Amino acid sequence: MMRIDILTLFPNMFTGVFNESILKKAQEKKAVSLNVINFRDFADNKHKTVDDYPYGGGAGMVLKPQPIFDAVAHVTKDSERPRIILLCPQGERYTQKKAEELAKEDHLVLICGHYEGYDERIREYLVTDEISIGDYVLTGGELGAMVIVDSVVRLLPGVLGNEASPVHDSFSSGLLEHPHYTRPADFRGMKVPDVLLSGNHRLIEEWREKQSLKRTFLRRPDLLENYPLTEKQKRWIEEWKKEEQ
């Protein structure tokens, strides 16, 4: 069973997210243990302060190293090789590939910052990874931690009903996912493509491959820069380029 510890100043933010839908079911199935810890409880001063003014002056407050170091020591005392992740705008941009990498770990510790930033010694001496969920700034790391937990847990064995589901997700193959349709076949004059009703699995797979590639070509061409295109896929792209012209 994977263990994920989240260190935060606002543990109540996680209550609804962790007790609904797939994350709730994953815990019931014993696929993951989700633990939310208030690192303010580890502050060694009588006022339980976790931040202080930055040396050298400047705006805002900085998280002190002591409470976070001690909180991490507490949750990792029985763990051999935990991944200790700092949620930070300066970190590596989060991707599906990173989610797949983290899903192979036994123990993750997510540190949710607040205020102006972290004491640099937390970055330098404590964490193994720094992750950003995008090129924007949030009020804290809690929402980023929720994103990481959700994206990782759904990849754990047995969590999703259909084991093939995560394999065909957008980004898992390097491309965006193909379109999906369900009943009815004709909804107010809007019809499902005939190929999906044909029963010909070879043609259906080729249609899905082509639609996946086309959606990526039109919406996220940057994903194709290092993608190993087949000759057939290259021909499709050339056809679409001619159509654009």
- Residue ranges of the annotated binding site for S-adenosyl-L-methionine are 113, 133-138
Return the pLDDT at 163.
Answer: 57
d(CA 24, CA 119): 34
Residues with catalytic roles = 89, 116, 154, 169
* Alpha-carbon dihedral angle through residues 146, 157, 2, 27, given to the nearest 10 degrees: 60
Q: How many CB atoms lie within 10 A of CB 125?
A: 9
- What pLDDT digit, counting tens, does each position of 3-24 carry? 999 999 999 999 999 999 999 9
pTM: 0.87
The percent of residues in the chain predicted with pLDDT above 70, rounded, is: 96
d(CA 178, CA 211): 5
- Residue ranges of the annotated binding site are 113, 133-138
CATH code for the domain defined by 173-244:
1.10.1270.20
Return the pLDDT at 135.
Answer: 95
| Length of the chain, in residues | 245
What is the second-level CATH architecture of the domain 2-153? 3-Layer(aba) Sandwich (3.40)
Domain ranges of the chain: 2-153, 173-244
